[in-house]
Amino acid sequence: MTITQLQYVLAVAEHKNFTSAAEKCFVTQPTLSMQIQKLEEELDVQIFDRSKKPIQLTDVGEKIVQQAKNIVNESTRIKDIVDQQKGFIGGDFKLGIIPTVTPTLLPMFMAAFIKKYPKVNLIVEERPTEEIIRMLKNGQLYAAIAATPLEQDTIKQIVINYDPVVAYGPESNPAFAKKEFEIEDLEMNLNNILLLQDGHCFRNNILNICKAKGLQQDNHFSIECGSFETMMKLADEGLGMTLLPYLHTLDLSEKAKAKLRHFKAPQPSREVSLIYNKKELKVHIIDALRSTINGVVRGAIAFQDVQIISPTNKK
C-alpha cells in the first residue's frame, strides 16, 4: 500500500470516474486503474463498484476512503513541518472564500499577494460557509475567508476587517431624504427590503440586524435575489431598498453612490475573518496572507465606530 495508491482512490471517489480521476492526478487512466486494482488485490476487497454508472464506493470502500483521507492529509504535513521550520513560503495553498466576499475583497489582495510571494501557488475556491467549514475539517482547504463569528471549536478565526453595511435605494424613499440612515429607519421599509436568497451569509446578517433591534421581519421580505447587482437594479426600478456591504460600493458610479446612505455610528457591519483548522501547519503562509489583506483593506475602510451585527453566521 502506498500514498500514491490512496491518492488515486480519493480521486476516483471524488470524480466517480477513472478517466477524470487520472486527469486530475496527471497519469494515464490505465496506470491509475492498475494501481487501484493492485491495492484491492492486496487488501482482498473491492473498493469500487464498477458495474454502476457513475462508479460507486462499496460499503468497505466508504470506510477505506475515510481513512485514506486521514493518511494522505497527515503525509503532507511532514513537508509542511519542514517548510515552516525553514521559513519557506511556497507550494500549493488552497483558499476558500464565500461568494459575497469574492468580487470585492479577492481582487484587492490577490495580485499583491502573488507578487510578494511568487512561490505560492494560490488556489481559490468559492464556496458557501457550511461547505468551507467541512472542507477545512477534512483538510481540503488550508484556510478560508468567511463572515464570522462561527460556533466552531476546531476553527481558528482571525478578523481581517469589519465591513460596514450601507443602505441603497431610491431618493423618493422618505428615509433617504436624510444624510445618514438609522437602523430604526428599516422599520418603515420592512415591506420592501430586497434580500439575497436563503443560503447567503449576508442575508443572515441583515435579518440579525432587525432581530437585534426588535424589528418584526417575518413575512415582510417579498423579493429575494441572487446577487447584489440584481437587488440594486430592482431598487433602481422603485421596487424597494436594499442593504450592501461597504466594500461592494467602492467601484460604483457617482450616480449610484448618490443613492447610498451610511448608518449613524456605531455603524452596523459584518465581521470578515481569515479562518483555518487549529491543526493546520501552513500558518506561515496564513500569516503572510493575513498581512497582505490587512495592508490593502485598511486603506479602503476606516476602522472606527463599528458594531458586529451577527453573533453567529452559519451560512
* Predicted pLDDT of residue 227: 79
CB-CB contact of 57 with 49 (8 Å)? yes
Task: Name the pTM for this structure.
Answer: 0.68
Instruction: Tell me: pLDDT of 126 over 90.
Output: yes
In SS3 terms, the chain reads as CCHHHHHHHHHHHHHCCHHHHHHHHCCCHHHHHHHHHHHHHHHCCCCEECCCCCCEECHHHHHHHHHHHHHHHHHHHHHHHHHHHHCCCCEEEEEEECCCCHHHHHHHHHHHHHHHCCCEEEEEEECCHHHHHHHHHHCCCCEEEEEECCCCCCEEEEEEEEEEEEEECCCCCHHHHCCEECHHHHHHHHHHEEEECCCCHHHHHHHHHHHHCCCCCCCCCCCEECCHHHHHHHHHCCCCEEEEEHHHHCCCCHHHHCCEEEECCCEEEEEEEEEEECCCCCHHHHHHHHHHHHHHHCCCCCCCCEEECCCCCCC
The more confidently predicted of residues 203 and 267 is: 267
Q: Is 98 exposed, middle or buried (0-12, 13-18, 19+ CB in 10 A)?
A: buried
Residue 305 — very low, low, confident or very high, per pLDDT cuts 50/70/90? very low
CB-CB contact of 20 with 72 (8 Å)? no
The predicted-structure confidence for 38-78, as pLDDT tens digits, reads as follows 999 999 999 999 998 889 999 999 999 989 988 887 777 77
CB-CB contact of 104 with 202 (8 Å)? no
The predicted-structure confidence for 193-242, as pLDDT tens digits, reads as follows 777 765 566 766 666 666 655 545 544 445 566 678 888 888 888 777 88
